[in-house]
Amino acid sequence: MFLSRFKNYLVRNWRSLAINSVFILAIVFGMRLWQQRDVVSGPAPALPGVTWKGQPTLVHFWATWCPVCRAEQSTIQAFAKDYPNTVTVVMQSGDNAAVSKFMQEQGLSFAAINDPSGEMSASWGVHAVPASFIVDGSGQIRFVEIGYTTGIGLRLRRWWAQ
């Protein structure tokens, strides 16, 4: 009964559904373009103490005040456990003591570089967090994702960057 009604609905409203789907995709695509408008590509900018030799590296920008970053932090924690060359940059979240306290309270043990002024983030073109970059072993940015990403998505991108 339900499937029959659903099928009838789809048949009657397919044009409307198609137009709405295209409209939603256009909005999502437009937002992604806007969020990534200044994001760097090609050679990765320098980060303190980081070299791009050997294996691909995840460079993940996040903030303590970002709810999406909080939702994603267990994914980053698990990824960093499996791939120790993960580097995170904590964007505009206070001084070193505040960042350290937050990480301790949340049980986060991945490497974090504090960027209190947003200077490093700006050099990467990051305007929105979370932002994840996969940098290959020669220092070239291969993948960029602005917003929430899954562990599987990060692992696949890292694998493709090898």
Question: Is a pLDDT exceeding 80 seen at residue 101?
Answer: yes
What tokens does 77 get? 């924690």
Tens digit of pLDDT for each residue in 72-90?
Answer: 999 999 999 999 999 999 9
CB atoms within 10 A of CB 14: 10
Q: What is d(CA 133, CA 131) in angstroms, rounded to the nearest whole number? A: 7
The pLDDT of residue 33 is: 63
Average pLDDT over residues 113-132: 95
How confident is the model at residue 61, as a pLDDT?
Answer: 97
Task: Give burial (CB, 10 Å; 0-12/13-18/19+) of 55.
Answer: middle
